[in-house]
Amino acid sequence: MSSTTITIRTARLSDAVAIEEISSRYATQGYMLKRAPENIIENIRNFFVAERNGSVIGSCAISFFTLHLAEIRTLAVVDSFKRQGVGSMLVRKAEEVLYEEGVKTAFVLTLSPDFFNSLGYHQVEKEMFPQKIWRDCTNCPKLMACDEIAMIKELEGRTVGGLQ
């Protein structure tokens, strides 16, 4: 493995601390909600990490809502690796797994719509996802003043990360 190789893999329990540290920086800046360490541990198999030289440099997670709808969430990359394709690699890995599971539609709530637009997502109304609102948003401090943008991508019948 060369020093510039970045690998994307399913997270392991031992990655939970690094995931929490990376995502906490984004939460502090208001880009995402803070995830409790126990929540990360409980959902560790739904996380993916980007790793370079044995260090976790980014992460994202998937959250299933129905048999055909899932969210890509908690996307975070350490500052020194931003704008180097790490976030795109993580999203593509999440899409591959969702596709393999038969999920037809991936959605995100984001403050970075240009990034997700570049990956084939398009903006929709948040009200399209009542499952998300009832499960997660009711506990959000931004509930009455949400500034996130909902975006979706249809996965069925598309080439996703090399899959047909």
Residue 159 pLDDT > 80, yes or no? no
pLDDT at residue 147, rounded to an integer? 67
Q: What is the pLDDT of residue 154?
A: 95
The percent of residues in the chain predicted with pLDDT above 70, rounded, is 81
Please, are residues 47 and 10 in contact by the beta-carbon 8 Å criterion? yes
Q: What is the mean pLDDT of the chain?
A: 83
* Complete domains list, the chain, with CATH: 6-154 (3.40.630.30)
- pLDDT recorded at residue 2: 43
* Share of the chain residues as helix, strand and coil, in percent rounded to the nearest 5: 40, 30, 30
Share of the chain above pLDDT 90, in %: 57
pTM: 0.83
Give the pLDDT confidence score for residue 25 in this predicted structure: 86
pLDDT digits (tens, 9 = 90+) for 35-89: 888 889 999 999 999 999 999 999 999 999 889 999 999 999 998 888 889 999 9
Q: What is the pLDDT of residue 77?
A: 94
User: How far is residue 38 from each of residues 31, 42, 97, measured CA to CA in Å?
Assistant: 20, 6, 23
Query: Given pLDDT bands bounded at 50, 70 and 90, which one contains residue 134?
Result: very low
In 10 A of CB 153, how many CB atoms? 19
Residue 158: the pLDDT is 47
Rounded Cα gap, residues 44 and 38, in angstroms = 10
